Amino acid sequence: MKRTALILILFGCLAGLSFGESKHNIGLGVILGEPTGVSFKMWSSQKVGFDAGAAWSFSGGEYFQIHGDMLFHNFDLFKVETGKMALYYGIGGRIKFGEDAEGGNETTVSVRIPVGLTYEFEKTPIELFLEFVPMLDLIPSTEFRLAGGIGARYYF
């Protein structure tokens, strides 16, 4: 029951977003690190976005995970000559699927708190990002974990 509720909350966040005023609202790309996979981002305003990923985690075994975060961006901290650079932070969730040592299914549900830097090019709809993600596993047991990676997205 707890797992179903968390999945509904994660995907409900995506459904509640409205498109921002930018002509490039949806980005698709890759993230490399822990985890490694496909990255998606949709902007709901000039400073708020939702990101999601479908990726493989190799920490402590091989696992497939999905995650989603609501992100808040501060573009006022860094002044760059071209493009835009921001510090971002947010909160979200992760569901990680894999096998335990006995070969049985193991599902982990976690709260994510991503913090990162993003750079958006001025004339090209590409975003580069670097993030650090503390996580708190809630199911099947409570445990603190760290993740992070670098990535790029192309905006449509």
pLDDT tens figures, 133-151? 999 999 999 999 999 999 9
Record the tokens describing residue 37, joined without a space: 């996979």
User: Concatenated DSSP letters for 68-133?
Assistant: EEEEEEETTS---SSSEEEEEEEEEEEEEEEE-TTS-EEEEEEEE--EEEEEE-SSS-EEEEEEEE
User: What's residue 13's pLDDT?
Assistant: 46
User: What's residue 98's pLDDT?
Assistant: 87
Give the model confidence (pLDDT) of 84-127 as tens digits.
999 999 999 999 998 766 667 889 999 999 999 999 999 999 99
Give the model confidence (pLDDT) of 41-93 as tens digits.
999 999 999 999 999 987 767 799 999 999 999 999 999 999 999 999 999 99
Domains, the chain? 2-155 (2.40.160.20)
